[in-house]
Protein backbone atom coordinates (compact mmCIF):
# COMPACT_ATOMS: atom_id res chain seq x y z
CA UNK A 1 0.00 0.00 0.00
CA UNK A 2 1.38 3.42 -0.97
CA UNK A 3 0.74 6.23 1.51
CA UNK A 4 1.68 9.88 1.87
CA UNK A 5 2.91 10.80 5.34
CA UNK A 6 1.15 13.74 6.98
CA UNK A 7 3.52 13.83 9.97
CA UNK A 8 7.14 12.94 10.69
CA UNK A 9 7.23 9.33 11.85
CA UNK A 10 10.45 8.03 13.34
CA UNK A 11 11.80 5.10 11.35
CA UNK A 12 9.34 5.64 8.48
CA UNK A 13 9.82 9.09 6.98
CA UNK A 14 9.07 12.79 6.97
CA UNK A 15 6.02 14.84 6.06
CA UNK A 16 5.15 14.53 2.38
CA UNK A 17 7.15 11.34 1.77
CA UNK A 18 5.48 8.64 -0.28
CA UNK A 19 6.14 5.25 1.30
CA UNK A 20 5.24 1.64 0.62
CA UNK A 21 3.93 0.06 3.82
CA UNK A 22 2.16 -3.19 4.58
CA UNK A 23 -1.61 -3.10 4.14
CA UNK A 24 -2.31 -3.80 7.81
CA UNK A 25 0.09 -1.15 9.12
CA UNK A 26 -1.20 1.41 6.67
CA UNK A 27 -4.90 0.71 7.23
CA UNK A 28 -4.90 -0.02 10.97
CA UNK A 29 -2.33 2.49 12.17
CA UNK A 30 -1.33 5.22 9.71
CA UNK A 31 -4.71 5.85 8.12
CA UNK A 32 -6.70 5.22 11.32
CA UNK A 33 -4.65 7.78 13.28
CA UNK A 34 -4.64 10.20 10.33
CA UNK A 35 -0.85 10.08 10.09
CA UNK A 36 -1.03 9.33 6.35
CA UNK A 37 -3.27 9.41 3.28
CA UNK A 38 -3.55 6.95 0.42
CA UNK A 39 -1.24 7.94 -2.44
CA UNK A 40 -3.35 8.75 -5.49
CA UNK A 41 -2.91 11.38 -8.23
CA UNK A 42 -4.65 14.20 -6.32
CA UNK A 43 -2.93 13.43 -3.05
CA UNK A 44 0.53 13.25 -4.66
CA UNK A 45 0.29 16.94 -5.65
CA UNK A 46 -0.76 17.73 -2.08
CA UNK A 47 2.20 15.70 -0.81
CA UNK A 48 4.63 17.84 -2.80
CA UNK A 49 3.07 20.96 -1.30
CA UNK A 50 3.24 19.49 2.23
CA UNK A 51 6.89 18.55 1.74
CA UNK A 52 7.85 22.06 0.59
CA UNK A 53 5.91 23.61 3.48
CA UNK A 54 7.55 21.28 6.03
CA UNK A 55 11.03 22.04 4.66
CA UNK A 56 10.35 25.77 4.93
CA UNK A 57 9.10 25.44 8.52
CA UNK A 58 12.10 23.27 9.41
CA UNK A 59 14.49 25.89 8.00
CA UNK A 60 12.76 28.65 9.99
CA UNK A 61 12.94 26.54 13.18
CA UNK A 62 16.62 25.82 12.53
CA UNK A 63 17.39 29.52 12.06
CA UNK A 64 15.52 30.35 15.28
CA UNK A 65 17.43 27.63 17.15
CA UNK A 66 20.76 29.03 15.86
CA UNK A 67 19.73 32.49 17.07
CA UNK A 68 18.77 31.11 20.50
CA UNK A 69 22.04 29.15 20.70
CA UNK A 70 23.99 32.34 20.05
CA UNK A 71 22.11 34.15 22.85
CA UNK A 72 22.53 31.26 25.28
CA UNK A 73 26.19 30.55 24.46
CA UNK A 74 27.59 31.56 27.88
CA UNK A 75 24.48 31.12 30.02
CA UNK A 76 24.74 30.13 33.68
CA UNK A 77 21.73 28.94 35.66
CA UNK A 78 21.87 29.15 39.45
CA UNK A 79 19.81 27.05 41.83
CA UNK A 80 19.68 27.03 45.64
CA UNK A 81 18.74 23.73 47.28
CA UNK A 82 18.86 22.38 50.81
CA UNK A 83 21.93 20.19 51.28
CA UNK A 84 23.95 18.29 53.83
CA UNK A 85 27.35 19.37 55.16
CA UNK A 86 29.01 17.09 52.62
CA UNK A 87 27.30 18.87 49.70
CA UNK A 88 24.74 16.20 48.91
CA UNK A 89 21.32 17.63 48.05
CA UNK A 90 18.29 16.55 50.07
CA UNK A 91 16.04 17.07 47.06
CA UNK A 92 17.88 16.62 43.78
CA UNK A 93 17.76 19.10 40.91
CA UNK A 94 15.55 17.66 38.16
CA UNK A 95 15.46 18.09 34.41
CA UNK A 96 12.06 19.77 34.81
CA UNK A 97 13.52 22.51 37.03
CA UNK A 98 16.39 23.03 34.59
CA UNK A 99 14.01 23.12 31.60
CA UNK A 100 11.78 25.69 33.33
CA UNK A 101 14.68 28.02 34.18
CA UNK A 102 16.33 27.64 30.78
CA UNK A 103 13.00 28.32 29.04
CA UNK A 104 12.69 31.59 30.98
CA UNK A 105 16.30 32.53 30.24
CA UNK A 106 16.15 32.04 26.46
CA UNK A 107 12.45 32.89 25.95
CA UNK A 108 11.66 29.57 24.26
CA UNK A 109 10.24 26.23 25.35
CA UNK A 110 12.89 23.63 26.17
CA UNK A 111 11.71 20.02 26.23
CA UNK A 112 12.90 17.48 28.78
CA UNK A 113 14.05 15.14 26.03
CA UNK A 114 16.52 17.71 24.74
CA UNK A 115 18.41 17.91 28.07
CA UNK A 116 21.40 15.61 28.66
CA UNK A 117 22.77 15.78 32.21
CA UNK A 118 26.02 14.06 31.11
CA UNK A 119 26.54 11.22 33.53
CA UNK A 120 24.31 12.58 36.29
CA UNK A 121 21.44 10.26 35.40
CA UNK A 122 18.04 11.89 35.66
CA UNK A 123 18.92 14.32 38.48
CA UNK A 124 21.81 16.40 39.80
CA UNK A 125 22.43 15.31 43.39
CA UNK A 126 25.42 17.41 44.52
CA UNK A 127 26.32 21.05 45.02
CA UNK A 128 28.77 22.69 42.66
CA UNK A 129 29.13 23.52 38.99
CA UNK A 130 27.82 21.10 36.39
CA UNK A 131 27.94 21.29 32.59
CA UNK A 132 24.96 19.88 30.75
CA UNK A 133 24.05 19.67 27.09
CA UNK A 134 20.80 20.89 25.55
CA UNK A 135 19.86 20.15 21.94
CA UNK A 136 17.73 23.05 20.67
CA UNK A 137 17.39 21.52 17.19
CA UNK A 138 19.07 18.65 15.35
CA UNK A 139 22.77 19.51 15.32
CA UNK A 140 22.42 22.70 17.40
CA UNK A 141 23.51 22.24 20.99
CA UNK A 142 24.32 24.54 23.87
CA UNK A 143 26.21 23.75 27.06
CA UNK A 144 24.81 25.86 29.89
CA UNK A 145 26.58 25.85 33.23
CA UNK A 146 24.46 24.78 36.19
CA UNK A 147 25.52 26.14 39.60
CA UNK A 148 23.90 24.47 42.57
CA UNK A 149 24.39 26.22 45.91
CA UNK A 150 23.59 24.76 49.29
CA UNK A 151 21.10 26.41 51.59
Torsion 92-97-102-104 (CA) sign: negative
The structural architecture, per CATH, of the domain 2-62 is: 3-Layer(aba) Sandwich (3.40)
Full-prediction pTM beyond 0.75? no
Confidence class for position 113, pLDDT limits 50, 70, 90: confident
Give pLDDT, residue 118: 81
The yes-or-no answer to whether 2-62 and 72-150 have a common fold is: no
pLDDT digits (tens, 9 = 90+) for 37-90: 998 888 888 888 888 888 898 899 888 888 888 888 789 999 999 999 999 999
- Domain residue spans of the chain: 2-62, 72-150
Q: Domain 72-150: which topology? A: Ribosomal Protein L9; domain 2 (3.10.430)
Amino acid sequence: MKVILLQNIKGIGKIGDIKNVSDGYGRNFLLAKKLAKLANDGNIKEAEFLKRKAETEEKIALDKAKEMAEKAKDITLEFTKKSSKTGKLYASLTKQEIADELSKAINAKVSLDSIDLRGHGEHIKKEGEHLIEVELAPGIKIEPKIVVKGE
